[in-house]
Structure 1
């Protein structure tokens, strides 16, 4: 900041121009800060979607070509097309997605299961689809209920910060919850015998076992724990962006866009509707 006594000593057009430039920059920053996410997306023609590289069937990235696929990529692409904007994929993890939303690194994150803890930090859309939590149980271990899993002798792997982590901790507080950086690492812990089960939503669990039958068996513990898959947003006073996406989701579910994206993503990992565990719907 320029003190009054120094301002009087500034001479020449250069100082005046610098002051004017500073004021213009401050004004532009203030205007940008006050612009809601919806208006900014339309103005920049860019929609930033959080994506998890190792997140099949939700997200899939071809490391050789850099091309993305997966149900949330397809859903995000359809959303961007309807808004006539460009989709930009920003890599994140399930555990870091909320922090990236809060830090304004991404505009939306599909595949977030709403929990009270998460709802204290971000906003959520309406339901994209229903989901169910399952476990992959090691060979020889076939728990039928969450109560059987809630045992100090039972080790359960999860990917840290995910809904798997939060829900397993809530449903099985007595069990040993072993946390890993990614879903793949949590699965590897099961494969190597370091844990008895992996807590995961059914799509990921069914895919993992079909790829590697040696992991064990997908079990749907009772009572069935149902959750929903939603989109998450950075919390802001103007709810236009959140409300628009919620309306778009309802519209797209009615047209079958969401279901088509899910079925197509399952096919990409050699799954079909026949592979859905009994009692699970989406």
Structure 2
């Protein structure tokens, strides 16, 4: 008797829930509409996300602009939720955030997350070089007298090893150390996919960012929760495709670069067609 009363109480409680509550458990779009909020993962990483150190507000970067635009399109409130690149996957799985921009769709991440088919943007392999170094293609760097720093055992390291074997390639544990070698004048250029070079160029106040020919680029994406419903995934895929094709993604990127104090013409574009 007692067990029947408990079950009846649970059934009554379920009937009392909002109409979309059950769907929201496995339908991010329904959850967003029910709650009136789009939760976007953010982390301090210009030009993608930038937080005002005084107000603490996330008010700059491509991801912030795009998140606000998507929230507006859905008629809900944009809510930035601070995570790290390392915790973003867990945050999505735990339903702490609804999406995160500029999350590369690696094979490992594809096992845990869903990604739209349409690329969000493209990174380019670039160099931050001395202002007087003349470089237009990778062959210009393939000389014994050219010193290049790069994070060790990365795809960037493998590319340099294959394409500029005659250069003096100096390998470091990570991005920060490779950039520090350039800052100290120990190398003539540092090679990375271009986003970290933007902040480095701004901080150092010198150097030129160059995308040598032939261009080596790779797509980035948007990480989403895996779920049976594809409604939100399909919508995000359509939105980022429209933003990219119309040039709006590039425009948001250039707006932030200008606010950041950089001339967009001096920084590689994120549209592959404009490289």
**Common topology (TM > 0.5):** yes
Change (3 A) 1:63 1:210: closer
Residue 92 (str. 1) matches residue 103 (str. 2): no
Q: In the alignment, which residue of structure 1 is the partner of 2:166?
A: none
Query: How many angstroms does 1:52 deviate by?
Result: 1.4
Give per-residue Cα distances to partners, 1:40-70, cap 9 Å, x unaligned.
11111111101112x1121110021012211
Query: How many angstroms does 1:197 deviate by?
Result: 6.1
Residue 264 (str. 1) matches residue 255 (str. 2): yes
Aligned residues: 255
Give matches, 1:1-282, under 5 Å: 31=22, 34-53=25-44, 55-68=45-58, 69-125=60-116, 126-136=118-128, 145=138, 156-157=150-151, 167-168=155-156, 171=159, 176=171, 178-179=173-174, 187-188=179-180, 191=183, 198-213=190-205, 216-277=207-268, 281=274
The two structures have a TM-score, normalised by structure 1, of 0.70
Query: How many angstroms does 1:108 deviate by?
Result: 0.8
Q: Secondary structure at the match of 2:48?
A: coil
Report the aligned-residue RMSD.
4.1
Query: How many angstroms does 1:95 deviate by?
Result: 3.5
Q: 230-239 vs 111-120, which deviates more?
A: 111-120
Q: Secondary structure at the match of 2:173?
A: strand
Change (3 A) 1:33 1:188: farther
Q: Structure 2: which 5+ runs fail to align?
A: 163-169
Q: Secondary structure at the match of 1:127?
A: coil
Q: Secondary structure at the match of 2:233?
A: helix
**CA contact 1:207–1:271 (8 Å) conserved in 2:** no
